Amino acid sequence: MANDIQVQKTVFSNTEFGRVVDTAFNTFKQPDLRGGLDPTVEFFKLYEDLYYVIDVTGETNSHEYLVRKSSELLNFDTVTEDIQPLLDEIAQLRQENLALNQQILDLETTV
């Protein structure tokens, strides 16, 4: 048994072709907007490029905003509470050091 295949050919003129066939470029795959790069790497590259352009203070779009948002992850307030007693002790030791230096100076000038 022979299989008969019938081929039908349709010919269009140049003006008809443009109306019948879509000649716009199309793709079957959605474009990768990231360009294959890691978004975290891209973020830090942009941050380095924009470091001096970003406002220092402000509710949004500022270094202050970035610190505030990052502090939520880092428990920054807890770290500050842990450090404060040490800072207080340093201040006290500086005052004692100043008082002792004053005593040394007073003894040197009286002798």
Residue boundaries of the structural domains of the chain: 14-110
Q: pLDDT above 70 covers what percent of the chain?
A: 83
Q: What is the pTM of this model?
A: 0.38
Q: What are the pLDDT digits (tens) for 9-58?
A: 888 888 888 788 777 776 666 666 656 678 888 889 999 999 999 999 99
- Asked if residue 41 lies in contact with residue 49, where contact means CB atoms within 8 angstroms, the answer is no
Token code pair at residue 50? 């924009």
3-state secondary structure of 49: helix
At 50 the pLDDT is 92
Phi-psi region of 35 (alpha: psi -120 to 50; beta: other; left: phi over 0): left
CA distances from 87 to 71, 78, 82 (A): 20, 15, 10
More confident residue, 20 or 66: 66
At 27 the pLDDT is 67
